[in-house]
Chain A
Amino acid sequence: ILNVEQSPQSLHVQEGDSTNFTCSFPSSNFYALHWYRWETAKSPEALFVMTLNGDEKKKGRISATLNTKEGYSYLYIKGSQPEDSATYLCAFSNDYKLSFGAGTTVTVRA
């Protein structure tokens, strides 16, 4: 069992503020690190897949960084909007199998 940890478990952020949260994963036998956004009653949506140490990915106001040597990734949300409210899951992949963290639930207050 691969231990993937996410922190914090939940956070509240004021609309317009920026925030970030962490995913830690085993640093050995690294294949890829995935970030998903999961809104209530919808399908988890892939945000990023990151494979190289030092990778930085960006999609609109959301970005992510990757440090495979120390085994962590940060997800950043800049200028949070109510539509960013969701659970953000990271997953360590060993070829085809995804090992997920428990997620960080973000609530953006208007």
Chain B
Amino acid sequence: GAGVSQTPSNKVTEKGKYVELRCDPISGHTALYWYRQSLGQGPEFLIYFQGTGAADDSGLPNDRFFAVRPEGSVSTLKIQRTERGDSAVYLCASSQGQGVIYEQYFGPGTRLTVT
């Protein structure tokens, strides 16, 4: 079946612009996660959705970052007033439920470059 998909695969934007990154999870997966991998580091947790609600947004770096999942399926990560430090690979993952027994399936990521 179809895996997690993310669009766009690459995004180049100018400093100060607004960007939206989209994630289509595996159908039926209730849990959705966003991670960010900066150069030379491992992916870092940003936010976790259970259904439509953000159950844990403790990883969002500041209030320029916001994510939604209005119908409990597709999620959009929104970044306002982008900065060069936001350049990273943004990964989305989904799982059937919450907890270590549920594998997180990752998308291929969106590479964001802020110039």
Asked if residues A98 and B98 are in contact (CB atoms below 8 Å), the reply is no
Give B88-115 interface residues, CB cut-off 8 Å to A: 91, 95, 98-100, 103-109
Asked if residues B108 and A95 are in contact (CB atoms below 8 Å), the reply is no
Asked if residues B56 and A101 are in contact (CB atoms below 8 Å), the reply is no
13 cross-chain CB contacts under 8 A: A6-B42, A32-B100, A43-B3, A43-B108, A44-B91, A45-B106, A49-B103, A89-B43, A91-B43, A93-B100, A95-B98, A98-B104, A100-B44
Asked if residues B106 and A44 are in contact (CB atoms below 8 Å), the reply is yes
**Residue A103 contacts which of B42, B106, B109 (CB distance < 8 angstroms)?**
B42
Asked if residues A49 and B100 are in contact (CB atoms below 8 Å), the reply is yes
What size tier do the contact residues of chain A reach?
A: 20 to 34
Closest 3 CB pairs of A and B: A100-B42, A32-B100, A44-B106
Cβ of A59 < 8 Å from any Cβ of B? no
CA distance A93 to B41 in the complex (A): 17
Interface residues of A (CB under 8 A from B): 4, 6, 31-32, 36, 41-46, 49, 51, 89, 91, 93, 95-103
**Residue B105 contacts which of A46, A91, A95, A100 (CB distance < 8 angstroms)?**
A46
Asked if residues B106 and A89 are in contact (CB atoms below 8 Å), the reply is no
